[in-house]
Amino acid sequence: MLKRFGLLLATAALASCHTTPDTGLAGGGYRSTDQIVQSLGYDTIALPSTGYGPGSLVTSVKGYGFTEPLRLAYLCRPEYANAPPAIIDTGATSEASRSFNGSFNLSVAAIKALGLGAQASNIESITLKFSDVKVEQLPYADLKTIQNGLGPVCAETLKEFKAKGLARQTQQALRADVTYTAHLKRGVSAEVKNLVIQALQASFGGSVDKTSDTSVTGTGLYYGLLLTKV
């Protein structure tokens, strides 16, 4: 029986504040997404993307280690890992959906972390809205099956990184559709609006679509991972 883990949600870019006071905090106040992630036991990733889901064999980007926010690279191409479809943890999914109900505002530092360049100066704030939140996972037996079924090149690569303590595999992950809405400074032109949205779209991996003059939606993006040492 799989161990139930809480839910995560965030990224280095998500040093944000919930718009609704959280009375569960001592003395009231606001909870950041990082605080939610930390309380639920997941590791944040530097930027949300469709990569590194359950079964993925990964290592850390040189110089960063496996500290949060995670910056990862594949050891083997996902198609060579032959990972089976992930299982949806319904209980953890319900918990995650409740935790990320409502809207979140990115801090100034978080907006800068998105890498928007000069366009960041035209933004007053960015609001996040989460939907279709789910927790995906694979049994540990499936993870071992993936490792045992690798081709010779992938198997050798995994062996080399494992010997250095630098091999990990994703066991569980939080996935969601997220809409980012930019609230722009007064008087910003239509051309600048378009440049801001283009910059937002370029900041994320995976399926990211423009949904309005000031919003983009990322579909099926991973926001937090639970890695197991290989």
Q: Return phi, psi of residue 99, to 5°.
A: -65, -30
Residue 32: the pLDDT is 63
d(CA 198, CA 214): 10
In this predicted structure, the answer to whether residue 5 has a pLDDT above a threshold of 80 is no
Q: Are 35 and 2 a contacting pair, CB within 8 Å? A: no
Residue 34: the pLDDT is 66
More confident residue, 146 or 123: 146
Q: Mean pLDDT over residues 65-84, rounded? A: 93
Confidence grade of residue 24 (pLDDT, cut at 50, 70, 90):
very low
Q: What is the pTM of this model?
A: 0.79
d(CA 53, CA 172): 7
Cα-to-chain-centroid distance, residue 168: 17
In this predicted structure, the answer to whether residue 63 has a pLDDT above a threshold of 80 is yes
Residues 93-133: pLDDT tens digits?
999 989 888 888 876 666 776 777 777 788 888 888 889 99
Q: Mean pLDDT over residues 82-96, rounded? A: 94
Residue 217: the pLDDT is 87
Average pLDDT of the chain, as a whole number: 80
Identify which of 49, 229, 36 has the alpha carbon closest to the alpha carbon of residue 144. 229
